[in-house]
Structures are given as structure tokens and as C-alpha cells.
Amino acid sequence: MKGYQITFFTQQDHRHHGKPLGQWLLLIAREMGLPGATLIAGSEGYGQHRRIHSTHFFELADQPQEIQIAASEADTERLFERLKAEGVQVFYVMSPVEFGMLGGAES
């Protein structure tokens, strides 16, 4: 299937509707029936303000996170419509990809 890989970049302490933004994005992707999403915790990074964000032993609030989603063009459009309607502010990278599943029973 052809579609997009969307990667959102945030950090642990960014919140939306009371939940960490990364977790919220993961739950929205699942609620919308997207084929899959993964939240990846990073050890260090920086964003638009050029400040280094990193994981600290006693404090994880500043921990960088990525949320990766592979979705069809139609699902990508639905996702971005939902994010705009929710007023979500988050940096993303989107690349065209081909994706699918290998193995298992043939339909």
C-alpha cells in the first residue's frame, strides 16, 4: 500500500487535553483506526528554540519523543484534519512510503 510515514516530534512534558502529547497522538491514531503507531523515547535532542532537551536521571519531563505512524493518503488527510480541529501544535516530518505486511495467511 502507498501512503506516508509521519513522524511527530515532541517532549514528555508537552500536554494536550491533560495527557502527554505523545500518548495522546498514539491514542488518537488508534481511535481513528490507523494501522499502527509507535512512540519512541529519545535520550537527547533540540527543537525550534535551540535548547537541548534530554533525559535526566531524576526528571523525565524534558525527554524528547517521536511518534511514528504509517498511513494511507486518505487516513493521513483524516488525521491532519483531526489535529487541526483539536488545535494541536506539533512539529512533524512526512515522507511518501510503501508499506504492508509480510507473511501470514493469504486472503
pLDDT, tens digit, 9 for 90 and up, residues 54-104: 555 555 556 788 999 999 999 999 999 999 999 999 999 999 999 998 997
Domains of the chain by residue range: 10-92
The domain over range 10-92 is classified in CATH as 1.25.40.80: no
Radius of gyration of the chain (CA): 15
Residue 107 predicted with pLDDT over 60: no
Q: Is the distance from CB of 20 to CB of 46 less than 8 angstroms?
A: no
pLDDT score at 104: 76
pLDDT score at 63: 74
Task: Specify the 3-state DSSP secondary structure of 74.
Answer: helix
pLDDT score at 51: 60
pLDDT score at 67: 96
Encoded amino acid at 37, one letter:
A
HSE (side-chain half, CA atoms, 13 Å) at 55: 8
What pLDDT digit, counting tens, does each position of 15-57 carry? 899 999 999 999 999 999 999 899 987 656 565 666 655 555 5
All cell numbers assigned to 49: 528554540
pLDDT score at 14: 84
pLDDT score at 86: 95
State the Cα–Cα distance between residues 28 and 26, nearest whole angstrom.
6
Q: Which residues are 2's β-sheet partners?
A: 98
What is the DSSP secondary structure assignment for residue 57, as one 8-state letter?
Answer: S
- Neighbouring C-beta atoms of residue 20, cutoff 10 Å: 19
